[in-house]
Amino acid sequence: MDLINKGLKLSAFGKVKVEENMKAKGMKELSLFKNLDLEVPSLSRVSIILNKTKFIEVLEKCITSNNLNFLKNKILNLKSIIKSYKDKEGILNIDSNGDTVSLRKDVLISELDQILEAKTFQRAKYYLSRLKAGAEKVKTNKINDINLLRWKEYDEIITDSLWVLDKRDTSGAHLGWYWGNFIPQIPHQMMLRYTKKGEWVLDPFVGSGTTLIECRRLGRNGIGIELNKEVAVKAKEIVKREPNNFNIASDVIIGDSTEIDFKQILKKRGISKIQLLIMHPPYYDIIKFSKDPRDLSNAPTVEKFLEMFGKVVDRTFPFLERNRYLVIVIGDKYSKGEWIPLGFYVMDEVLKRSYKLKSIIVKNFEETRAKRNQKELWRYRALVGGFYVFKHEYILLFKKK
């Protein structure tokens, strides 16, 4: 949660420049994840479209050959075609008969190198078969659309438990106007890992609608609940500004997630289950979101806060499909000289229910100009008070048993 930087928008100029460069060079495709601003996408993430039939033919000839020299020459030739775009064999000819296949150019070249460097004939054939399978088939698991036969192409998906993100995604409808929003990369990453296109995501503390904007980008249906009417109305309007290319639902509903009838809400959409739950509750009273006593940020004590939060976990539980994920984004707080581990309390609360813990991700607070200005002051206070300055929050990941 961005506690200090209100309205300071970091430019995504790096990304724009890369896109312009690519257009100038006539390059067709950016990576699948072009909205992800974890880092500026590099030109190496360009995809290449091949004539599938011809490409597979070459790979098959290599796999069935008994001559290592023949195999290596074929692969060297393939690599040179892909690198130089000069082709006499029709591999780049996507207008003639046969399907096409789009592969990440840098990954393809590295796989061809791997074949060329293979120490044994057997190993080379193993790499060739793997490359062929990746071009021919799609293998996904039940909870996302990641093609596991081409997993190397998904390097933007984070799989480490420490997230150090230096800037927020401010593209499209992500205006960053709401004090207490989360960085769009969080729902983005979670949806890529834990949902398929067309599935349903529920966010019971939707605030400015960050989750719903990401839903529109990734083609997931989204339902968000927000207690504060004014915020909900504005969120609704801003979410609509994001193009709805996948024709999905984006519902912002005004209500109290500790009491609201989720069954009815889903029924209105003709569904009985959702596939991902994202919760970004108030971090107890760090930011007061309203004067409403039903607002979790107005809980009179930490215990009451946890009780209210527990109610939301209970009320949403029946509607999450089994073996699907609950994501909670939460930070700790400091009060009267004492560190209050809200993150761990919240985790304990969830583990009292039928959820198992899958990961604790530690995410940095992004540096902003406002925070930079306060840095010295906080360092001095930390030295005086004998504590450490907050630099992280948690993304807790649970799977419904």
Ligand X SMILES: C[S@@+](CC[C@H](N)C(=O)[O-])C[C@H]1O[C@@H](n2cnc3c(N)ncnc32)[C@H](O)[C@@H]1O
- Residues near ligand X (CB under 6 A) are 1, 178, 180-182, 204-205, 207-208, 210, 225-228, 231, 256-258, 280-282, 289-290, 294-297
Find the shortest distance in angstroms from Cβ 204 to ligand X: 6
Select 98 or 341, whichever has its Cβ closest to ligand X. Answer: 341
- Give the whole-angstrom CA distance, residue 281 versus residue 330: 7
User: If you search the block for the tokens 């984070």, which residue do you land on?
Assistant: 158
Select 199 or 203, whichever has its Cβ closest to ligand X. Answer: 203
Find the shortest distance in angstroms from Cβ 4 to ligand X: 15
**Strand ranges for 157-266 from DSSP E:** 162-163, 200-203, 221-226, 250-254
Find the shortest distance in angstroms from Cβ 242 to ligand X: 14
- Give the whole-angstrom CA distance, residue 191 versus residue 219: 10
Of 13, 251, 31, the C-alpha closest to 156 is: 31
Select 307 or 367, whichever has its Cβ closest to ligand X. Answer: 307
Find the shortest distance in angstroms from Cβ 257 to ligand X: 4
- Give the whole-angstrom CA distance, residue 397 versus residue 163: 14
- Give the whole-angstrom CA distance, residue 219 versus residue 198: 6
Find the shortest distance in angstroms from Cβ 366 to ligand X: 14
Find the shortest distance in angstroms from Cβ 195 to ligand X: 17
- Give the whole-angstrom CA distance, residue 238 versus residue 172: 10
Please provide the distance, in angstroms rounded to a whole number, between the alpha carbons at the two ends of the chain: 29
Select 5 or 258, whichever has its Cβ closest to ligand X. Answer: 258
Find the shortest distance in angstroms from Cβ 314 to ligand X: 13
Of 299, 277, 396, 399, the C-alpha closest to 348 is: 396
Q: Which residue is nearest to ligand X (CB)?
A: 207
Strand 221-226 to strand 250-254: parallel, antiparallel, or no bridges (unpaired)? parallel
Select 89 or 366, whichever has its Cβ closest to ligand X. Answer: 366
Select 250 or 297, whichever has its Cβ closest to ligand X. Answer: 297
Cβ neighbours of residue 6 closer than 8 Å, sequence gap 6 or more: 179, 370
Phi then psi for residue 338, to 5 deg, are -135, 135
Structure tokens at 163: 């997230």
Say if residue 249 is exposed, middle or buried (CB neighbours under 10 Å; 0-12, 13-18, 19+).
middle
Asked whether 400 and 317 are in contact (CB, 8 A), the reply is: yes
Select 74 or 188, whichever has its Cβ closest to ligand X. Answer: 188
Select 242 or 295, whichever has its Cβ closest to ligand X. Answer: 295
Find the shortest distance in angstroms from Cβ 234 to ligand X: 10
Structure tokens at 82: 């892909």
Q: Which amino acid is at 107?
A: V
